[in-house]
Each structure stands twice: as structure tokens, then as C-alpha cells.
Structure 1
Amino acid sequence: MAATNSAPPLLHSYQKRPPVFAPHLSFVSFKKTQLGFESRISTTKLEWKGREEQWQSKVKRHGGVRCAAEGIDGGMFVRKRAREDGVGVSIPERFKVVFLVACVMCLCNADRVVMSVAIVPLAAKHGWSSSFLGIVQSSFLWGYIFSSVIGGALVDRYGGKRVFACGVFLWSLATLLTPLAANHSTMSLLAIRAFFGLAEGVALPSMSTLLSRWFPTNERASAVGISMAGFHLGNVIGLLLTPIMLSTIGISGPFILFSSLGLLWVMTWLYRVTDDPMESHFISRSEQRLIQAGKRGSPKKSSKFPPLHLLLSKLPSWAIIFANATNNWGYFVLLSWMPVYFKSVYNVNLKQAAWFSAVPWATMAISGYLAGLASDFLINAGYPTTFVRKLMQTIGFIGPAVTLLCLNYANTPTVAATLMTAALSLSSFSQAGFMLNIQDIAPQYAGILHGISNSAGTLAAIISTIGTGYFVQWLGSFQAFLTLTAGLYFVTTIFWNLFASGEQVL
């Protein structure tokens, strides 16, 4: 009778527990223990069903959920746990992170492009020659070449968040001071542009390392594609807005606008983003598990200085270095000289030159994202990483080489813009080639390897930017330099396919 008298409270307590998490319970002990209420269980099945429906309705209405990872939580509703388990989270946190990265990469390139357009009225004002234009254009690269390696090492040591934020703050400050320096003297202008490049050198290593920590391996190419789409759209925004602001506000207008946006981004970044998704207060537990499950060769912060002799002793490292150098050679020739090219070759005005120059970068943003999607698709379909990286890089070099050769035969600005659009669109496949390959072969030292390859690329960009000016002044046309650039694309493609690898070697 004692057992019978205690049955109703136990049954009442048991019925109060919603059966939605019943798989976590064991009924063995109830079956073995003769408490006297077994016969009543069958009569309550309909009540349980009704209670389950009420419970699920309550969960949807209040946004609450019980933590069932360890079994029963006593029926407590905890909104914090609801967020951690993904209930009510509409946009994954890693997508918000890549959006912020894409925004700052857009600013990164817009700040560069402002000078490519503003240099035309500055040259007219100060009487600069074509060769000196190349020196002014390349001054950005003087600082960039030194900060790439140092910035990459800092990213490996401290992570991308703080290094990225410091870099954006400093280059936004340099952008703000650029028109003041130009009014003071040419030496001041060269110095501030070199400082600007010094600050921007940390951008790509920070982006690469941060995205590799926030995205599983099978989504990394798409994430880089989105970020670099922002990078290329920065060219479009800079090329289109700068002439308008120069003609309405003056030379200071675009510099003030883009520097202000950079400072606003820094405040948002420091509040929202962490170096590792496991440290974030905004991410759900389910998303953390998804990221961790999809990691392969995830980079970790290292207190040791990376072994440079080991990095440079591997042929796959040199394949990346040469690919970066060739990519930057062609990229900066087009970035720095496109407005001048259309003005001098086809005699179009500054606003028209900006439109012709902007179209290729817009399509490059789209094609780069599509290249990332294609790369992830091929890897998920089972193709070897080495094959995918070689394929993407081959498209990224052979395509521009052929179109630049064809550009020598263009006779109208429309045809020239079409060929440049094709060249830049195809070159964006390099993002799914050598840029992603850095994380493949050396995940722990990706920052420093990216910095080394960026320095080589910057040196190539300095030579090509200055060399274009001298070639134009010497030969009176762009054709010879475009042919030389196409030849470099062909040679580097051969080296890449011989020695590149998608496997970890460091």
C-alpha cells in the first residue's frame, strides 16, 4: 500500500515532464520496479500526446528549448541556451564575419584606386611626366613590400583580428592625410603613400588566416571568393565615385569619404569579431561544431618564429611565390594604368575612362566568386585538391595571357574594354589557385608564407608599374609591355603545374 500511495505523485511528476526528449530516458528501471502504476500508463498515452503538442507549441511561441545534451534539465527554459543551440538564429555568424571582411577589402582597394584617378588632375596641376607618374603610383608599394612579411608573421602570432584592425586604422589615417601631403610637397605625398602601403600590407594575410579559422575546408574557397569580390568591387566604387567627387567637392572629397568609412568599420570589427569561432559570444554551438567538423589543417597561433629556411626549401612554396609575383605584375599594370591607357590611347575624358576601367573589375568580382564555388564543388565531388588548385591557376593565367595579346589589336575603346574585362575576369580564378594553396601546404605558417609571396608580388608590381611608365615614354605605346606581361603568364603557368601541390608539406 505504501508503494500504491506513492504512485500518484510519481506519475503526476512524470506526466509533467514533456515527452519530446523521451529518447534520452531509460524505462528499464520503471519496468523492473513494481510501483503499482504500470497499468495506468496505457490510459495516459492520449494525454501525453496532447501534452507533447502543447509543449512544442510553447517552444515555438517562447523561443525556449531544453538542453538535452546531458539528459534532463528539470524543464527549465533558458533563452541563452536557445541561442547557443541555434534556435532563432537566422544568419550563421561566419557569414557575418565574411561580410565584414568583404566590406573592408572593398575599402582596401577603393583607397588605392582613388589615387589612380586623382593623379590625372594632380599631374596636370604639378606638370608631372609619364615616368614620374609611375613613381607616384608605385610609392604605395614601397611600404607594402616591407609590411607583408612582418604582417604575416604578426597574424600567425596574434591572429587576424587585432592585426587587421590596426592596419585598417592606419591606412584610413594615411588616406585622410593624402591630399594635405600632396598640397605640401611631392616628397610628402610619396612618404604618406608609402606609409599607406605599409598599413595595407597586413590585409591579405589577415583575411586568409581569419577565414581559414572561421570556415570549414569545403567552404573556404567560396568565403575567399566573397571577400575578394568585395576587393574587386572596391575598384568599381573608387573608379566611379572619385571622378564625381573630384568635380563636385574637390580632391579632398573621396579621401575623406573612404577614410571615414574605414574608421567606422574598425569599431564594428572590434566589437563583433574574434580570431577563432570558439571564442565568439555570438555564434551558436551547432555552428561551432559544424566548423570544427569541417576543418583540415586548421592554423594555430604559434609563439615560435616560422622556419624561413624550411619554407623556402620547398618547391610548392616557390610555385606560390612565382604565381603571386606574376599575378601582381599584371594586376597592378591594369589597376594603375587603365585610366591613363584609355585617355592616352583612345582620347576619352576622365569620367569615360573611369567607366571603361570600372566594368572589368565588376565582372572580376562575379567571376572570382564563381571560381570559388566551382573549386568547392570539385573538391566536394572528390577531385584531388592538387588537381583543383592547378586547374584554377591555369585558367587564371592562360586566360589573361591570351586576351592581353589580343588587346594589341584592339582599335576602339569598346573592344579594348571587352578584352580587359575578359582578362581580369579570368585572372580572378587565381584566387582559387595560389591564394588558397597557401593554407593547403602550410596551415600553421600561412601568414608568413602569404607575406613572403606578397613581398615578391609587390616587388614585381613596383617593377611593372614603373616599367610601364618608362615603356610608354620610350616606345610611345602600351603594346610592348602588354606582350611582355602575357609571356610571364605563360612561363609561370608551366612552373606552377610542375611543382604546385595541394597537400600539406610544412
Structure 2
Amino acid sequence: MDEKPTTKKGPDFCSLRYGLALIMHFSNFTMITQRVSLSIAIIAMVNGTQQHGLSNASTDGPLADALNNLSRSTVEFNRKVSVYQWSPEIQGIIFSSINYGIILTLIPSGYLAGIFGAKHMLGAGLLISSLLTLFTPLAADFGVTLVIVIRTVQGMAQGMAWTGQFTIWAKWAPPLERSKLTTIAGSGVAFGSFIILCVGGLISQALGWPFIFYIFGSTGCFCCLLWFTVIYDDPMHHPCISVREKEHIVSSLAQQSSSPRRSVPIKAMVRCLPLWAIFLGFFSHFWLCTIIITYLPTYISTVLHVNIRDSGVLSSLPFIAASSCTILGGQLADFLLSKNLLRLITVRKLFSSLGLLLPSLCAMALPFVVSSYMTTIILLILIPGTSNLCDSGFIINTLDVAPRYASFLMGISRGFGLLAGIVSSTATGFLISQDSESGWRNVFFLSAAVNMFGLVFYLTFGQAEIQDWAKERTVTRF
């Protein structure tokens, strides 16, 4: 008589898999701070932005008084700061170079991680990104070309790290815990954005802008030590996992294959509408998210007329909401599944709907409440917060429809997201350059339209069953 695989609940938050989620949270935290560091530091790096510059302060009385209040080290660093004559066009190229680097490696790194293991692929990406962050101040002295090259290579390294995570979760995350684990790990992005926006300016002012790179580059190197020590590709080979937890994970994944494969069914993937629903969901989601991340300080400063210091603090608040909603959404999604309150596809579509519809409504309301400071801030906080509910929707849907190819497909999905980010950033700059007031209104209405298109397509074609081309092919021997 065949025995049913045990479905006994694992040790939950005291388990090793939740420890891995926390380390991955720290890894994502580190990568996003390294990515955003230049956005904060460049204000002090570029001479044209230093209205209170220090490099020529000896001829100005008020500026000399200000210098007297600073320590010698701060003066030296700030003098080094204001030497780069980078035009806005050059700055735009520098900022976008990391996105191009990520796009170059998203798909190949996802495929290779599925074959050779994500531990070394992701760990190497994190280490390379951290080392390049440490060398960024030195590269700036050698010229803008080297900075662009370093940012591009750093993007390639981070592309390796982003996609490798889903290969790990395909082997570590029981189906009823996927939303929890992936959202705990993914919330590091929002939390990292909050921290770098809060403390980046303070570090630059107190120690000098190079220390932004030194501090977060060193943090990444420390994270690498944790990564290579604790993370393993497969729970079967982890030396510290308990027998109970190992049996729980293996039995939960018994119906899904995680064996390596030597070929990818590209034609079947191209014809798969559920996959296109996920891809377009990513495109819609990243369209608005990129606008918020890139232009939020500008919007707060120009529309609400807030000074730079307060603008940085206000710009960081939405990412606390985003981090909290990511984790809470994952908990709620898995609760609904574990209690059999909703089917898996219903949960995925519910959270996708909330994550695309609610931020669209908030964005469309923004142009009509500019006279109310508090209402505007609340809406700006709600947009990234509610948008991150998608993390329990289509963002992890590849683990449902094709767990064997989750990392490879995540690379493609994020490629669609990055493409949306490039297009939306360009479109936003064009629209607000025409007319600030009507431009912002058009930006938000266009974002809402893109979100609605992605949502309708996902609700129509999204699925949660493993696709035929993603199932394990077994041969019965007699």
C-alpha cells in the first residue's frame, strides 16, 4: 500500500528556510543600496549641483563661515566632491548604464543558475557588485567613461544575483509558503531604498560622498560571507537542516520537478499565454514603480516646494510602506491558501488586481489634491505600498506555472520590467518638460492606463497550473 507523503507543517519561523529568506532580504537590501548610492552621491559629486559648493569657498565670506563649522576631514572630502563637470545628459547615461547591464545578464544568468546552481551565481554577482561599489570613487577620478563601464558591469553582476534567487526558492519553498518566503526576501529592496534615502545625504554631509560607496560596498562584502556560508542550492545537501524540515520541504515539492535540464522549450514558452500574462504584468508594474523611484524626490521638491533635506526624508517614507505591504501581503496570501479559503489562481489574480488597480487610483488622484500637502504625501506613500502586493501575484507566478524554469523566466520577466522602466523614465522626462502641471497629470494617467492593460491581460490569461512543457518527462523501464 502506497503511503501519502507527509504534509506535516514545518517548524515555520524558527526553520532554516526562513533564515535563508532573511539572508536573501539582506542581500537584496545591499544590492539596492549599492544601486541607489550614486543617485544620492551625485548631488555632491557634480560641481553644477553644488550651489553651496566648497571647492571655491575661500573667496566667499558666508561660505567660509560654513566651512569653519566642519571638521577638517569633511572639508577635504567635500573639496574633492565638486570637481566633476558632468552635464545632465551625462548623468542620465550614468544612471541608465546599470539598467542596461542588468538587461544583458538577466536571461543568460537565470538559465545558467538553473543548471549550475544559484548559490555561486548569486554570490558571485553580489561580490562583484560590492567590490565595484568600493572602487566607484576611485573610478570617478579617472573619468566618466570608467564610471559608466563600472556601472554597466555592476548591473550585469546584479542581474546575475536577482534571477538566481528564484532557482533557490524552487527547491526550498513549499508551495503554501512561497508567498511568505519570497516576500520576506523581496522586501529588502524597499527597506534598502528607505535606508539609503534616509542616511545617504547624512553620510555625504558628515563624512564625504565617497563614504556612501565605502559603507554599502563593505556591507555587501560582509553579506557575501554570510551567503557563501549559510546558503545552499538544495535542502538535501545543507549540513545544518533538521530532518523534520528536510522531510517537510521534500514532501511538499514531491509533485514538482526541480531536476536540472539541458534544454529550454523556447517555442512552447513563446506560445504560452499565461507566461505573456506574467511578462505584461511585470511591464505594467515596473512602469509606475520606476517613475516613483526615479522622480519621487523631484516631484516632492517641485510640486510641494519642499527643501532638499525634508525631500529626502519624505521620499523614503513610501518605501517603509512598500516593505511592510510586501511582507504582510505574503503572509495573507499563504494564509488564504493554507486554509483553503481561495484557490491558488484566485489568490494570484486577487493580489495582482490589488497591486495594479490601487496604485493606479492613487496616481490618478494626485494631480487633483496638490493643494493638500498631507493628502499628497499619503497618496505617495500608498502607491509603492499597494503596488508591492503584486509580489504575491504574478511576480511569483513563474514558480507555479514552470518551477523548473523559474529562474530563466524570472530573467525574462525582469527584462520586461527594466524595459518598462527605461521607456517610462524617458516618457516622464519628455512630458514634464513640456509643461510641469499638465505633464505630471499625463504621466500619472498614462501609468494608470498601462497598469490597466496589464491587469486585464493577466486576469484573462493568467494561470497557476504547471504547464505541460514544464513538467518532468519520465521514462518507465520494464
Give the equivalent residue in structure 1 for 2:464: 502
Aligned equivalent of 1:162, options 92, 116, 120: 120
Q: Aligned with 1:400: secondary structure? A: helix
Q: How does 1:199-214 map to 2 (within 5 A)?
A: 199-214=157-172
Give the equivalent residue in structure 1 for 2:349: 390
Q: How does 1:87-102 map to 2 (within 5 A)?
A: 91-102=14-25
Q: How does 1:186-205 map to 2 (within 5 A)?
A: 186-205=144-163
Aligned equivalent of 1:271, options 229, 233, 244: 229
TM-score, normalised relative to structure 2? 0.83
Give the equivalent residue in structure 1 for 2:337: 379
Q: Return closer, same or farther for 1:293/1:353 CA change in 2, 3 Å cut-off.
A: same
Q: Return closer, same or farther for 1:156/1:263 CA change in 2, 3 Å cut-off.
A: same
Q: Name the CA distance, whole Å, in 2 between partners of 1:286 and 1:213.
A: 16
Give the equivalent residue in structure 1 for 2:371: 411
Q: Aligned with 2:208: secondary structure? A: coil
- Aligned-residue sequence identity (percent) comes to 26
Give the equivalent residue in structure 2 for 1:329: 287
Give the equivalent residue in structure 2 for 1:221: 179
Q: Does 1:479 align with 2:468?
A: no
Moved more, 192-201 or 161-170: 192-201
Give the equivalent residue in structure 1 for 2:455: 493
Cα deviation, residue 140, structure 1: 1.4
Letter in 1 for 2:143: S
Cα deviation, residue 181, structure 1: 2.8
Give the equivalent residue in structure 1 for 2:31: 108
State whether residues 159 and 301 of structure 1, in contact with CA within 8 Å, keep that contact through their aligned partners in structure 2: no
Q: Name the CA distance, whole Å, in 2 between partners of 1:346 and 1:234.
A: 25
Q: Does 1:338 align with 2:269?
A: no
Q: Name the CA distance, whole Å, in 2 between partners of 1:472 and 1:192.
A: 30
Q: Return closer, same or farther for 1:246/1:319 CA change in 2, 3 Å cut-off.
A: same
Q: Name the CA distance, whole Å, in 2 between partners of 1:395 and 1:475.
A: 31
The alignment of Structure 1 onto Structure 2 pairs a total of residues equal to 420
Cα deviation, residue 340, structure 1: 2.3
Q: Name the CA distance, whole Å, in 2 between partners of 1:329 and 1:173.
A: 30
State whether residues 441 and 503 of structure 1, in contact with CA within 8 Å, keep that contact through their aligned partners in structure 2: yes
Letter in 2 for 1:120: I
Give the equivalent residue in structure 2 for 1:429: 389
Q: Name the CA distance, whole Å, in 2 between partners of 1:193 and 1:468.
A: 23
Give the equivalent residue in structure 2 for 1:33: none
Q: Name the CA distance, whole Å, in 2 between partners of 1:182 and 1:479.
A: 37
State whether residues 342 and 413 of structure 1, in contact with CA within 8 Å, keep that contact through their aligned partners in structure 2: no
Give the equivalent residue in structure 1 for 2:57: none
Q: Name the CA distance, whole Å, in 2 between partners of 1:456 and 1:223.
A: 23
Q: Aligned with 1:478: secondary structure? A: helix
Aligned equivalent of 1:294, options 252, 259, 265: 252
Q: Does 1:358 align with 2:316?
A: yes
Q: Name the CA distance, whole Å, in 2 between partners of 1:199 and 1:386.
A: 33
Cα deviation, residue 229, structure 1: 1.7
Q: Does 1:402 align with 2:358?
A: no
Q: C-alpha offsets along residues 6-30 of structure 1, whole Å, 9 cap, x if unaligned?
A: xxxxxxxxxxxxxxxxxxxxxxxxx
Q: Return closer, same or farther for 1:137/1:415 CA change in 2, 3 Å cut-off.
A: farther
5+ long unaligned stretches in structure 2:
1-9, 50-81, 471-478
Q: Return closer, same or farther for 1:181/1:238 CA change in 2, 3 Å cut-off.
A: same
Q: Name the CA distance, whole Å, in 2 between partners of 1:475 and 1:188.
A: 35
Give the equivalent residue in structure 2 for 1:280: 238
Cα deviation, residue 134, structure 1: 3.8
Q: Name the CA distance, whole Å, in 2 between partners of 1:413 and 1:166.
A: 45
Letter in 1 for 2:395: M
State whether residues 297 and 440 of structure 1, in contact with CA within 8 Å, keep that contact through their aligned partners in structure 2: no
Q: Return closer, same or farther for 1:297/1:113 CA change in 2, 3 Å cut-off.
A: farther
Give the equivalent residue in structure 2 for 1:117: 40
Q: C-alpha offsets along residues 11-69 of structure 1, whole Å, 9 cap, x if unaligned?
A: xxxxxxxxxxxxxxxxxxxxxxxxxxxxxxxxxxxxxxxxxxxxxxxxxxxxxxxxxxx
Q: Name the CA distance, whole Å, in 2 between partners of 1:185 and 1:482.
A: 37
Give the equivalent residue in structure 2 for 1:40: none
Cα deviation, residue 299, structure 1: 5.0
Q: Does 1:457 align with 2:417?
A: yes
**What CA RMSD, in Å, does the superposition of the two structures yield over aligned residues?**
2.1
Q: Return closer, same or farther for 1:405/1:133 CA change in 2, 3 Å cut-off.
A: farther
Give the equivalent residue in structure 2 for 1:370: 328
Cα deviation, residue 341, structure 1: 2.2
5+ long unaligned stretches in structure 1:
1-85
Aligned equivalent of 1:181, options 132, 139, 151: 139
